[in-house]
Amino acid sequence: MATIAIASILVVSGLGLVLLSQESDGYRSTDFPERLMIFGNANNDDYLDEDDITTLEKIIAGELDAEDHPLADANQDGVIDQKDIDMVRKMIDREPMEIYYLNAHGDVKSVQYPVGDVAVVGTGIMGAVMSIGADEKVAARSFGATYDRTLIGDLYDVPIISDSLFRADVELVSNIDGITAILTQESTRYVQNADVFENAGIDVIRIAATDGLDTIGGILTLGYLLGFEEQANEYVRFCDEIISYINDRVGPDMMADDERVTSLSVVMINSVSGKDSAYFSATQIAGSINLADWDDTTQRFQEGDEWLLSYDPDFIIHARGIGYGDVDIQATWDQYGQYFTEMRAYKEGNYHILNGNPPVIVRIAYIASIFYPDIIGEDFGDIKHQEFLDKFSNADNLNVKEDVVSTINVHMLAA
């Protein structure tokens, strides 16, 4: 999935955005193919509407090649015909029905639309649900200390249906009335017993929630499935504007490779991200050249190891979930920075611990402002973080600059 996200930035260059006036019904993006992963979305845009009917009619008439429209077969019977048009008309009218979609792994799945109450497994997908205002759908969640009470508000207190962030117990889920689906994120670590739930009649919906630009498509797909399309499109507007802002300044066509900073990204305590990691792609979207050249998601780096020293990046971005409460900055720095003290980036003050609790799009805004403060603006991350909290979170009256530790660097220690 990360490779898709990396390629996507090349498409964003020169994109067109249509931001409608305040009097209009909302926001419509353009030039963003294959983000809404619902079968019936025949023209591959972000919406289910009459344009899909027109596309289906042209496919049936032989005016368009069906192979160029992979989501056109709405009823998944292998044929594109009048039945698909009839089904899409019902979908446009948002009638209750069984629909088909592609999950975060590209698997074809079916689900009853609209999805009823859900149990959420994973903090990333909880953030996605919260961002589109679908709190009322959440009836339970997985256990996990990384859920931030300040960020998700009352959702923190819903019943817990596991002893792990990555699991859900089918018996505990079945004991809660109304749950029709488990929502989880793209990593295969989450809900490894999906077949148990599906055999019990509970759908497992796997959505991209932390994976770079794919997360935007995950939000759109989730918004449709849960019946919160308008709110999802508002969040997508927020994401698109951040990506467009960054891309117009440091995107692929804006500077030569020898003008770009280089980077490595780190997750967990001391795991350096490879090319298959969303953290790798986030640094690329933010305009750097990430020097990792291995395909594994991560490789662990221990004190005394030599293998990482030869990469010599300008910046190291270390993502950790440090939350929205009080943070001991010095202790956090000592705990995580100790592994990288021999790196040039650390010695030059370019090792940054990035709060991993905000969504990936906000983290990308911070990374871009760290890499290119004079071009992007050194406050860009804070500005977009504040906008996210004000519009898309349950955090009340939280001031990013005064109340939140969003990044930690050597200059903060000196202060």
Boundaries of every domain in the chain: 1-31+103-250, 38-95, 260-414
pTM of the model: 0.88
CATH of domain 260-414: 3.40.50.1980
pLDDT at residue 132, as a whole number: 95
Could you tell me the pLDDT band of residue 325, with boundaries at 50, 70 and 90? confident
- Residue 387 CA to residue 78 CA, distance in Å, equals 44
Could you tell me the pLDDT band of residue 25, with boundaries at 50, 70 and 90? low
**Among 14-18, 100-104, 400-404, the least confident range:** 14-18
**Among 3-17, 44-58, 99-113, 184-198, the least confident range:** 3-17
If DSSP codes are grouped into helix, strand and coil, which group holds residue 271?
Answer: strand
Distances (CA, A) of 127 to 78, 124, 130: 36, 5, 5
252-258 contact pairs (CB < 8 A, 24+): 252/9, 252/10, 252/13, 253/13, 253/14, 255/287, 257/289
Overall average pLDDT of the 173-190 stretch: 93
Overall average pLDDT of the 334-360 stretch: 95
Q: Quickly name the fold that domain 1-31+103-250 has.
A: Rossmann fold (3.40.50)
Contact call for residues 301 and 329 (beta carbons, < 8 A): no
Contact call for residues 324 and 150 (beta carbons, < 8 A): yes
Token look-up 């009256």 returns 397
Q: What is the DSSP letter of 296?
A: S
* Environment class of 410 (CB within 10 Å of its CB; exposed 0-12, middle 13-18, buried 19+): middle
If DSSP codes are grouped into helix, strand and coil, which group holds residue 208?
Answer: coil
Q: Quickly name the fold that domain 38-95 has.
A: Type 1 dockerin domain (1.10.1330)
Overall average pLDDT of the 352-378 stretch: 96
In the predicted structure, residue 199 carries a pLDDT above the cut 60: yes
Q: Beta strand pairing status for 28-29 and 97-102?
A: unpaired
Could you tell me the pLDDT band of residue 360, with boundaries at 50, 70 and 90? very high
Contact call for residues 179 and 173 (beta carbons, < 8 A): yes
Residue with the larger pLDDT of the pair 9 and 138: 138
Backbone Cα Rg of the chain: 22
121 Rama sector, left if φ>0, alpha if ψ -120 to 50, beta otherwise? beta
Overall average pLDDT of the 323-347 stretch: 94
How many CB atoms are located within 10 Å of the residue 70 CB?
14
The residue type found at 259 is E
Q: Mean of the per-residue pLDDT values for the chain?
A: 90
How many CB atoms are located within 10 Å of the residue 187 CB?
18
Buried b (16+ CB within 10 A) or exposed e, 87-103: bbbebeeeeeeebbbbb
Q: What is the DSSP letter of 188?
A: T
Could you tell me the pLDDT band of residue 243, with boundaries at 50, 70 and 90? very high
Token look-up 């409608």 returns 20
Whether 260-414 and 1-31+103-250 are alike in CATH topology: the answer is: yes
Contact call for residues 367 and 286 (beta carbons, < 8 A): yes
Overall average pLDDT of the 163-170 stretch: 94
| Residue spans of beta strands (DSSP E) within 70-173 | 97-102, 108-113, 117-121, 138-141
